[in-house]
Chains A and B, each alone.
Chain A
Amino acid sequence: MHKLIETNGLTYYYRKGTKDEVKALDSVNMAVYKGEMLSITGQNGSGKSTLARHFNALLKPGQGSILIKGLSTANKDSIPEIRKIIGMVFQNPDNQLVSSIVEEDIAFGPENLGLPQAEIIDRVDWALETLNLEDLRREPPHNLSEGQKQQVAIAGVLAMKPECIVLDEPTAHLDPRGRREVLESAIRLNREEGITIVLLTHFMSEVVHCDRMLVMEGGAVKMDGSPEKVFRQSAEIKSAGLDFPVASQVAEGLRREGFKIKPDIVRTEELIDCLCQLKS
């Protein structure tokens, strides 16, 4: 598969050269493949946010390198191009919306790209439609729920037509409903629009919907693989301080009680299917 993002020995220090120096990334080698939905998980301070900020050149590598479609973020001239390829959505929607009107905020990115007026209008309409926000287009953000605000933030990035959207804990501030809606949007953008998604999250219920997951610990990638494969390694999951998805916990409990449940169940839907087959 085609590599969209590739890091090589990527190392990053906060406050380098002072006595408070912290090694946030420790020779990370990883890749994001075009078209996949990847989740990066790990405890606070595991380095996932720092890694994500390298993806669109918000941070420059201390050592090692990162290439976005072959462009190095260390090269200043390629940064505008990189930011066109990689869009980024942050945790707190209030702190990333610029304008007091939804559609104007969505237009902010395309306006920055210097696109012609007709193109901006087309893109804003398309982004609003894709995320089902048409009814909110004239609303001020403060009238919206947190979940809706985050959808607007995603639409604002989507309107820049990136190949990849990086979502940095987009659901951390949201209620369950907002969380579900944001996750559904991310899945839809990946499946229907073919946009590569990198989802940073603490919620295993979100991780299991991704094609692949990375587990980070102490600034390094500790595990890499499909959720089924990663959650098989229970000892490592526990040492990384992560939970198991509800479905695999229930499946494990049932197995212990002697029920015949097939291995590698991580998604609730799979568990339901499996239980239904048990009954018959």
Chain B
Amino acid sequence: MELTKNITLGVYLPGKSSIHNLDPRTKIITATIMIVLLLISRSYAAFALSALFTGFLITLSGVPAGYAMRGLKPMLPVLAIMWVFQLFLFKAPDTTVYFHWWIFEATAAGLHMGNLIILRVLFLFTVTTFLTLTTSVVSLTDGLENLLKPLRAIGIPSQELVMTLVIALRFVLILAEELEKIIKAQMARGVAFDRGNFIQKTRKIFPVFLPLFIGAFKRAEELIVAMDARSYTGGKGRTKMKTLHMGRVDLGAAAVMIVYGGMLIYIIISTEPMI
């Protein structure tokens, strides 16, 4: 049960590539544009271009591709279930029926819908993981704080929200470690997590999460006290140790994004959607 090894979301791999050196605001905006473009992509050609581009970015960053994808492993069963659901349950008029049994129909539309959803999830995951792998949490949140600052004018407490995110990200690993400890403690007392059918296995999960949640609340309470003791009173009146600067590399990134975005939008408009 090595949970911490599989968590790549929120983990940062330090490096010196031009991707690492980008201003976090550039990276956040770029990732957002990529995600929006992916959500409007409906053709295999568009996904192929996105895959090429993502591959190019990963190569450029020097992040081992295997590492970037490792976090996907625990998601695979869920993805498979989602794909099967779409294949059999998605209904569309005028579509080829591959297979028919009772109320279930495997259709061409369902197949494409399943593929579309899987591709979207895969890319969403890869893009966000890639963002956190190449951007330290701190510069990520600095960038986010900076980008969201205008929202303060309309009454959204952006700095506090970002602080919440900072803390959440710091505690991901701590809670994963704690979960591992709880599981091991229960295994030591005879719980066999890998035995039994699906329902029996699921039932064994509840006694694991209860102590985890209680522990998390306790930690939160202690953290609040500690933050209070360090004079935290919200975003108002805070200053920052670091300020952000955009440079030449960010200009380059903007140019690359314009070319990529233009190409992708052209493909999205001109090609036949898969569904």
Q: Which residues of A contact B (CB under 8 A)?
A: 53, 56, 58, 80, 83-84, 87-88, 90, 92, 94-101, 103-104, 107-117, 120-121, 124, 138, 140-142, 156-157, 160
The A-contacting residues of B in range 204-241, CB under 8 angstroms, are: 219, 222-223, 225-233, 237-241
- From A108, which residue of chain B is reached at the shortest CB distance? B230
Q: How far is the CB of B127 from chain A (nearest CB, A)?
A: 21
Contact B231 A109, beta carbon cutoff 8 Å: yes
Name the 7 nearest CB pairs between A and B, nearest first.
Answer: A96-B226, A95-B222, A107-B241, A88-B229, A112-B231, A100-B137, A109-B230
Q: B152-181: which residues lie under 8 A (CB-CB) from chain A?
A: 166-167, 169-170, 173-174
Is A114 within 8 A of B237, CB to CB? Answer: yes
B229→A98 contact, CB < 8 A = no
Is there contact, CB below 8 Å, between A111 and B238? yes
Q: Are B169 and A100 in contact (CB under 8 A)?
A: yes
Q: Which residues of chain A come closer than 8 Å to B232, judged between CB atoms? A: 108, 112
Extra A-B contacts (20), CB below 8 Å, given A98-B226, A141-B170: A80-B231, A80-B233, A83-B230, A83-B231, A88-B226, A90-B225, A98-B170, A99-B137, A100-B136, A100-B169, A101-B136, A104-B138, A109-B230, A113-B231, A116-B239, A117-B241, A117-B243, A120-B239, A124-B241, A160-B230
B233 touches A58 (CB 8 A): no
Q: Mark B127-149, 1 if CB is under 8 A from A, else 0.
A: 00000000011100000000000
Q: Is the CB of B240 within 8 A of A111?
A: yes
Q: Are B229 and A56 within 8 A (Cβ)?
A: yes
Q: A104-B138, A112-B232, A141-B170 are in contact. Are A98 and B239 (CB under 8 A)?
A: no
Cα(A88)–Cα(B230), bound, Å: 8
> Are A160's CB and B239's CB within 8 A?
no
Give the number of residues in B that approach A within 8 Å (Cβ atoms).
29
Cα distance, A136 to B251, chains bound together (Å): 33
**How many Å lie between the Cα of A56 and that of B231 in the bound state?**
10
Task: Choose one: B166, B225, B229, B237; the contact of A100 (CB below 8 Å).
Answer: B166
Chain B interface mostly = helix
Task: Find out whether the CB atom of B170 lies under 8 angstroms from the CB atom of A110.
Answer: no
| Most chain A CB inside 10 Å of its own CB: which residue of B12, B229, B232 | B229
Please indicate the chain B residues that have their CB under 8 angstroms from the CB of A97 in the complex.
Answer: 170
B222, A92: Cβ atoms under 8 Å? yes
- Given A90-B222, A120-B241, A160-B230, is A99 in contact with B138 using a C-beta cutoff of 8 Å? yes
Bound-complex Cα distance A84 to B232 (A): 11
Sample 11 A-B pairs with CB under 8 A, ordered by A number.
Answer: A83-B231, A95-B223, A98-B170, A99-B170, A101-B137, A111-B240, A114-B238, A117-B239, A117-B243, A140-B12, A157-B230
Q: Which residue of A lies closest to B140 (CB)?
A: A100
Q: With the chains together, A94 CA to B222 CA distance in Å?
A: 10
Bound Cα distance from A126 to B241, whole angstroms: 14
Q: How far is the CB of B149 from chain A (nearest CB, A)?
A: 15
B243 to chain A: closest residue by CB:
A117
When distances are taken between beta carbons in the complex, the residues of chain A under 8 Å from B14 are 138
Question: Residues of A contacting B223 with CB < 8 Å?
Answer: 95-96, 98
Q: How far is the CA of A114 from the CA of B238 in the complex (A)?
A: 5
Q: In whole Å, how far is B176's beta carbon from the nearest beta carbon of chain A? A: 10
CA distance A142 to B169 in the complex (A): 12
Cα of A203 to Cα of B266 in the assembled complex, Å: 71
A100 to B219, CA, bound (A): 16
> CB < 8 Å: which of B174, B229, B233, B240 contacts A142?
B174
Contact B230 A114 (CB under 8 A): no
Instruction: Tell me the complex Cα distance, A112–B237, Å.
Output: 7
